[in-house]
Amino acid sequence: MSGVNSAPVERAPEFTGPALQVRNLRKLYPIGGRFFRRAKSNIHAVDDISLDVPAGGSLALVGESGCGKTTAGKLMVKLLDATSGEVRLTHGGGDEIELSSLSGRETKRFRRSAQMIFQDPYESINPRRTVFDTIAEPLVVQRVGNIREREERVLRIMEQVSLTPVASMLMRYPHELSGGQRQRVAIARALVLEPRFVVADEPTSMLDVSVRTGIMMLMLEMRERLNATFVYITHDLAVARYMCDRIAVMYMGKIVEVGETESLLKNPVHPYTRALLSAVPVPDPSVTRSEIQIKGGVARPVDPAPRCRFFDRCLSATEVCETEDHPVLSLREEGRAVACCNF
Ligand SMILES: Nc1ncnc2c1ncn2[C@@H]1O[C@H](COP(=O)(O)OP(=O)(O)O)[C@@H](O)[C@H]1O
Ligand SMILES: [Mg+2]
């Protein structure tokens, strides 16, 4: 019989293989439709992306504001349903789930192994609930353990995310916390179920510079502790470098380049990745920088022309870039894949 102090850790089964496999994933937002009439246009928020993240690996999704990062992240944890395409997660023993086929009950169960951390902690914490209730809620919803065991898990994760002294934090309300502490509560809440897969959506971008590095270090530490597979969304290449093994660069709903972090930063191939890197050198992740700015600005991807999405801003564009479809992401050396006809 296990005593109160040795509450069994109930965890969803481990992901193996490529833990996350995304295939031809697409999310369109119809606009301009009227009642009983089909929408005239669509915003192509995520436009046919494919990627893999191995078990325990980490991938940064990087790109300018509006390029589809948040939408892609939400699709990966089924907070949004895809227009088409697949998101597969592979559990230990080869069990594979495909998110579009999950029933309501299976989706609830899936939440136990996959969680998202948001940019704004208020997206996941209720201003009228205490720290304790906020962090305990996923355990209650998932019916994990008894009251004593839940309490123990909440206290333990509060220590781990440095919401200390725990006793003085437990009964506080979000408005009594600093921005950094609120994000720690949101992180504790997302991780208390010990998920196998975590999508973190710019969790430091709304925080004071002084607390950003602390939150990034916490995320790295928790990732290691949980041995979880991570997708980390950021507009900042320095943050991506600090946090992840691999980087996928997004532009107007497309992945234009993906590769190992250091190799990609040292030798960017796609003209967009090059432009990003020349616009911002990649130093210390604790330094604040504004969103990436490149000549031309990003158009909203409303019914984009079939040509290369980067055509209008590309300094290397040739005739084929305009006449051919957006190029497919094709594999180069060193696990690098690039969607460009000219390089
Ligand atoms: N619920 C929505 N309805 C309509 N358009 C949306 C919605 N959410 C996002 N978009 C649009 O989809 C595109 C991608 O948005 P988003 O995924 O939030 O990008 P990012 O996180 O990279 O800033 C943007 O053009 C945005 O305006
Ligand atoms: Mg976003």
Q: Whose CA is nearest to atom 8 of ligand 1?
A: 71
pLDDT value at position 278? 81
Q: In angstroms, rounded to a whole number, what is the distance separating the alpha carbons of residues 247 and 61?
A: 6
Supply 143's token pair.
């019916």
168 Cα to the center of ligand 1, angstroms: 39
| Cβ-proximal residues to 218 (8 Å cutoff; 6+ apart), any chain | 161, 162, 184, 187
Q: Supply the residue whose CA is at minimum distance from atom 18 of ligand 1.
A: 70
Show the domains of the chain with their CATH numbers.
4-113+193-247 (3.40.50.300)
Using CB distances shorter than 6 Å, the residues near ligand 1 are: 29, 43, 45, 63, 65-71, 300-301
- pLDDT, tens digit, 9 for 90 and up, residues 295-343: 666 778 999 999 999 999 998 899 999 999 999 999 998 789 999 998 8
pLDDT digits (tens, 9 = 90+) for 172-204: 999 999 999 999 999 999 999 999 999 999 999
Tokens at 227, concatenated = 């041995």
Name the residue of 25, 28, 43 to mutate for ligand 1: max ligand atoms within 8 A of Cβ: 43
Give the closest residue to 196 by CA, choosing from 55, 9, 22.
55
**Which residues, 6 or more positions from 194, have their beta carbon under 8 angstroms from its beta carbon?**
9, 11, 226
Distance (Å, whole) CA 150 – CA 275: 49
The rounded distance, in Å, linking the Cα atoms of 37 and 46 is: 23
Radius of gyration from C-alpha coordinates of the chain:
21
Ligand 2 centroid to residue 63 C-alpha, Å:
10
Give 11's pLDDT tier (boundaries 50, 70, 90): confident
Name the residue type at position 273: T
- Going by alpha carbons, the residue nearest to atom 20 of ligand 1 is 66
pLDDT at 128: 95
Alpha-carbon span 258 to 278, nearest angstrom = 18
Q: Is the pLDDT at 4 greater than 80, yes or no?
A: no
- Give the integer Cα–Cα distance in Å for 277 and 292: 9
